[in-house]
């Protein structure tokens, strides 16, 4: 047995024989001796044996020191059992629609059908089709023209919901719709004002009629100096009036506005700019056109 050395297991202290060459090599590296792989594994374990905190389990299990928490469970299932009891994620609720008790984290309804009923009731149209058509006809009878969508904001949403679009609602009332929003840069509905001037839109006709009612002399389509651009109106003392109805609605239109403003500045022309907010939902031209006699070069 000269080729072997008797050593003690570092874990269980059992006496075992090791080859001399292995014995010397382990001493040189400072390694321990073990009688088996099981003893080697148990000796190197640095964790603790714990008891599952689930009262229905109480299973013993090993866990490394770095993984030991405030509360420890042998499995995710045991952790879920305890945590669901302490912090229920699916509390019992009563359906808002039918009153049936059910479990759910967020929803107030026990089913899709109950939720849909509540949604339909909440978003029930304020006006019927007949009422919308009647209101459009009443506007026509009072003003002798088709209403612009912005003039009747209280029924726009209902009209879209009931008819599919504002123009279809106008057509149902037996009237010819104004120009389409999608194509209004290329297709315009010409309207004749009270003084006979041909206007490119209902909005322009509103402004032209206002000037006529206030006895303000005005001409249509005045030329800008050294340019092909035309102003919507020119009034006394060379003052120009423009209706920028598509401002911020089309890059090409916005470019045209900038060019007109530049021409006015270069030629010292007084320009009064009118926007949709000055006409809808209520005509507010007094404050804009009261600037006619003032000396400012530009009113925007």
Q: Is residue 62 domain-resident?
A: no
Q: Is residue 283 domain-resident?
A: yes
Q: Is residue 186 domain-resident?
A: no
- Give the pLDDT confidence of 251-279 residue by residue, as tens digits: 888 888 999 999 988 888 888 888 888 88
* Secondary structure class of 225 (helix, strand, coil): coil
Q: Is residue 291 domain-resident?
A: yes
Average pLDDT over residues 75-82: 92
Domain extent for 268: 191-299
Is a pLDDT exceeding 50 seen at residue 127?
yes
0.75 surpassed by pTM: no
Does 249 lie in the same domain as 165?
Answer: no
* Secondary structure class of 244 (helix, strand, coil): coil
Query: Taking all residues of the chain, what is their mean pLDDT, rounded to a whole number?
Result: 82
Model pLDDT, residue 101: 83
- Give the pLDDT confidence of 155-171 residue by residue, as tens digits: 888 888 888 888 888 88
Does 210 lie in the same domain as 293?
Answer: yes
Residue 105: pLDDT band (50, 70, 90) is: low
CATH code for position 274: 3.40.960.10
Q: Is residue 73 domain-resident?
A: no
Does 282 lie in the same domain as 206?
Answer: yes
Pairing of strands 4-8, 15-19: antiparallel
Q: Is residue 78 domain-resident?
A: no
Average pLDDT over residues 199-209: 86
The partner residues of 18 in beta bridges, in order of sequence, read 5
Question: What CA–CA distance (Å, rounded) separates 6 from 4?
Answer: 7
Residue 2: pLDDT band (50, 70, 90) is: low
Model pLDDT, residue 113: 86
Helices and strands, number each (H, E), in the chain: 10, 13
Number of structural domains (the chain) is: 4
């Amino acid at each position: 047995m000269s080729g072997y050395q008797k050593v003690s297991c570092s874990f269980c202290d059992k006496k075992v024989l090791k080859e001399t060459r292995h014995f010397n090599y382990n001493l040189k590296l400072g390694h321990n001796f073990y009688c088996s792989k099981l003893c080697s594994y148990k000796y190197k374990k640095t964790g603790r044996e714990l008891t599952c905190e689930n009262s229905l389990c109480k299973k013993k299990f090993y866990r490394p020191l770095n993984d030991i928490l405030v509360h420890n469970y042998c499995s995710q299932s045991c952790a879920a059992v305890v945590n669901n009891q302490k912090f229920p994620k699916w509390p019992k609720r009563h359906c808002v629609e039918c009153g049936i008790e059910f479990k759910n984290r967020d929803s107030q309804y026990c089913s899709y059908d109950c939720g849909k009923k509540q949604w339909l009731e909440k978003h029930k149209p304020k006006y019927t089709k007949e009422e919308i058509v009647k209101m459009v006809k009443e506007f026509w009878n009072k003003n002798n023209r088709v209403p612009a969508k912005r003039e009747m904001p209280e029924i726009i949403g209902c009209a879209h919901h009931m008819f599919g679009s504002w123009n279809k609602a106008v057509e149902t009332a037996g009237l010819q719709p104004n120009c389409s929003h999608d194509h209004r840069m290329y297709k315009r509905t010409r309207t004749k004002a009270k003084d006979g001037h041909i206007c490119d839109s209902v909005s322009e006709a509103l402004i032209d009629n206002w000037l006529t009612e206030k006895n303000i002399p005005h001409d249509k389509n005045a030329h800008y100096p050294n340019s092909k651009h035309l102003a919507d109106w020119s009034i006394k003392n060379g003052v120009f009036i423009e209706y920028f109805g598509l401002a911020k609605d089309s890059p090409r239109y916005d470019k045209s506005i900038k060019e007109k403003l530049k021409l006015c500045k270069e030629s010292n022309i007084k320009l009064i700019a009118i926007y949709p907010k000055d006409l809808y939902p209520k005509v507010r031209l007094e404050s804009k056109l009261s600037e006619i006699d003032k000396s400012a070069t530009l009113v925007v």
